[in-house]
Amino acid sequence: MKNQIKLGIWKSSSNYWKLLPYIYDYWPTIVKALTCTLVFTIFWPILAWLMGEMAGYIGRGDVGAITQLAGLAAIIFLIKGTVQYGQDTLMAKAALTIALDLRKQVYSHLQRLHISYFENSKTGDLSYRITEDIDRTGEVINKFFHQFVPCILQLIVVLGYMVYLNWQLTLATMIVAPLLALLIGWFGELLLSFSHQSQHRISNLSALITEVFNGIRIVQAFAAEEYQVSQFSVEAEQNRQAKYMAEKVKALQFVVVGFLEAMSVVFLFFLGGWQISQGNLTGEGFISYVTGVALLIDPISLTTSNYSEFKQGEASCDRVFELLTIQPLVIEKPDAISLPPVEGKVEYRNVCFSYYPEKPILKNLNLLVNSGEIIAFVGVSGAGKTTLVNLLPRFYDPQSGKILIDGINIQDVTLKTLRRQIGIVPQEVTLFSGTILQNIAFGRVDYKIDSVEAAAKVANAHQFIIKLPKGYQTWVGERGVNLSGGQRQRIAIARAVLENPRILILDEATSSLDYESESLVQEALERLMEGRTVFIIAHRLATVRRANRILVMENGEILESGTHTELLEKGELYTRLYQKQFS
């Protein structure tokens, strides 16, 4: 049933329909809330009737009857308040849970997207969609069931009572309804347009803030504070203008709709007086009728307001489901197997890869790396070194050819079991907000503190960690800014040691360190590489010299292969690179 709903609504023009599967999951709670709403709504015509009856007894001075009706009104208000509480809390619970489910699904979906998507996306924009846009979508769901549906039911029930009292008067007062509906629809489309603009602007603003704060050292180093403030001011002003236009439309809507409502009331009194003069309506009946009209003002106003907010929220809903339509480029097969513990033999067979069809990066590349072999890749920037090693953990998939580990095609195994057996120590280390312990054990829930400490000792990190104020429980600031480059590198190495991978990828981890830090990191790397298959993107001579084999790459092809001494003796491309980069 749920799958049918999903397939059917996905083709709808409005993304609001895509929320139905999420709403369907919580239908018992929503049904309970709507039951409370129905009970709540039934009391409105009873209250209108009571007002008319009470007006008649007040005119006759019947205190006893007035007291009885007042007591009945108190009981009705008590029951109405109770069911209203049930309606409000149940709908809030359902709406917040739906928003939570949607947020978790979007976040999980983003985790599976290809790396190039994040390289070309704005972090601030993604953060805004996952937080503010989903919150607004949840508010729309809440208001729809909490306010919009009760208002519509109240309109139906009270209008039915008014028709019962005097259908001619009701028909005459409803002439203005189609005009109101057209105006509300027109204003709603305007609001949707301006809301799209506003959401786009606020996302740009959020992205700019994230980008600048991440690079605040560069901003201050280049004395670019005033430039960044001017950029921020431009984005903030554009966001203000878009929001202001939306507020102007809403203000105009309330004025126009309010004027029509007021004129309807004036017209109502004129017609009511005429109906009483014709004997078609009593004075008490007219009081009850006017009470019914008064009971319509609030739901009409809320319906108008909610429709405006729904149109604004539709922009957020569009932006959320836009993320879910993006498909990952690297897809795990439905029948993928778990990769068994590997020895570390790696083979590239006729691998071709390009980020853009017109610009190939790897051209029919073939490479066999034996278990335990240390391979170093050298070459100018853009030669394809990083791309080649990024294909191994399937950050990307080649357009043709295949990659095998111990004779098993990596596209036939699950991503988790593949990546768990490949350790990566990047040149630019990424640390996350949390403790040092959590950063070393990143991604693991089954670690032991003794194992973490042992990994840190192998990585030459234990000594500096225990000297910190809280040792392994020391909090690491965002991106590890309160640690030195060498310390961050050693934590990254400890993270790889704890994972105990058979295959290791090193994007030369010592290229930007001072001599002392480089010595400690290099010693840790020596321990880490022992007995493993290692792929190194080389920038330093020390790393190149200890490799079992050096591969010289140019324009996506391996042009030379051999040891450091063998390649120097040839006096070809490697020799020129060595003289230019390493000597």
SS (H, E, C) 312-379: HHHHHHHHHHHHHCCCCCCCCCCCCECCCCCCCCEEEEEEEEEEECCEEEEEEEEEEECCCCEEEEEC
Q: pLDDT for 7-53, tens place per residue?
A: 333 344 677 888 888 888 888 888 888 888 888 777 777 776 777 66
Q: How far apart are the two ends of the chain, measured CA to CA in Å? A: 69
Say what the pLDDT of residue 301 is. 67
Is 458:495 a contact under the CB 8 Å cutoff?
A: no
7-21, 408-422, 440-454, 555-569: lowest mean pLDDT where?
A: 7-21
pLDDT value, residue 9: 37
What average pLDDT does this structure show over 358-384? 88
- Which amino acid type is present at position 169? L
Percent of the chain with pLDDT over 90: 11
pLDDT score of 581: 64
Q: Which of 30, 50, 37, 48 is nearest to 153 (CA)?
A: 37
Over residues 328-348, the mean pLDDT reads 91
Task: Bin 531: left if φ > 0, else alpha if -120 < ψ < 50, else beta.
Answer: left
Show the tokens assigned to 351. Answer: 């691998």
CA angle 337, 341, 346 (to 5 degrees): 85
391 band by pLDDT with thresholds 50, 70 and 90: very high
Highest mean pLDDT among 57-61, 91-95, 255-259, 536-540: 91-95
Is pLDDT above 80 for 437? yes
The Cβ-side half-sphere exposure at 294, using a 13 Å CA radius, reads 12
- Per-residue model confidence (pLDDT) at position 253: 74
Mean pLDDT along residues 194-201:
72
- What distance in Å separates the CA atoms of residue 142 and residue 83, rounded to the nearest whole number? 16
CB-based contact 550:574 (threshold 8 Å): yes
Asked if residue 360 has pLDDT above 70, the reply is yes
Alpha-carbon distance 373 to 393, whole Å? 18
Work out the number of other CB atoms within 10 angstroms of the CB of residue 279: 7
1 band by pLDDT with thresholds 50, 70 and 90: very low
Q: At what angle do helices 134-143 and 63-111 cross, to 10 degrees?
A: 150
Whole-angstrom distance, CA of residue 141 vs CA of residue 4: 21
**pLDDT mean across residues, the chain:** 79
Q: How far is Cα 162 from Cα 300, in angstroms, rounded to an integer?
A: 15
Mean pLDDT throughout 458-467? 88
More confident residue, 392 or 83: 392
Predicted local distance difference test score (pLDDT) of residue 326: 87
Positive or negative, the CA dihedral 366, 369, 370, 376 is positive
Q: How confident is the model at residue 549 (pLDDT cuts 50, 70, 90)?
A: very high
- Residue/partner pairs of 440-448 with CB below 8 Å, 24 or more apart: 440/472, 440/491, 440/494, 440/495, 440/498, 441/495, 441/498, 442/495, 444/498, 444/499, 447/498
Residues 260-307 have pLDDT tens digits of 767 766 777 777 777 777 777 666 677 777 777 666 766 776 776 677
Q: What is the pLDDT of residue 428?
A: 77
Mean pLDDT is lowest, of 88-97, 272-281, 462-471, for: 272-281
Question: Comparing 146 with 514, which gets the higher pLDDT?
Answer: 146
Q: How far apart are CA 149 and CA 34, in angstroms?
A: 8
Q: Tell me, what's the pLDDT at 371?
A: 93
**Whose structure tokens read 């998939």?**
397
Q: Which residues contact 155 (CB under 8 A, 6 or more apart)?
A: 296, 299, 300, 303
pLDDT (tens digit, 9 = 90+) per residue, 131-156?
888 888 888 888 888 778 887 887 78
Strands (E) located in 441-508:
475-476, 503-507
Query: Which CATH number applies to 2-324?
Result: 1.20.1560.10
Q: How far apart are CA 119 and CA 355, in angstroms?
A: 12
Nearest to 205 by CA among 237, 161, 159: 237
Look at residue 175 in the predicted model and tell me its pLDDT: 66
The pLDDT, as a whole number, for residue 249 is 77
pLDDT at 176: 61
> Dihedral, CA atoms, 100, 105, 111, 117, nearest 10 degrees?
-110
- How would DSSP label each residue in 216-281? HHHHHHTT-HHHHHHHHHHHHHHHHHHHHHHHHHHHHHHHHHHHHHHHHHHHHHHHHHHHHHTTSS
Most confident of 39-53, 104-118, 212-226, 516-530: 104-118
C-alpha span between 544 and 522 (Å, rounded): 13
- Check residue 540 and give its pLDDT: 64
CA–CA–CA angle 548, 553, 554 (5° rounding): 165
Quick one: average pLDDT of 397-406? 93
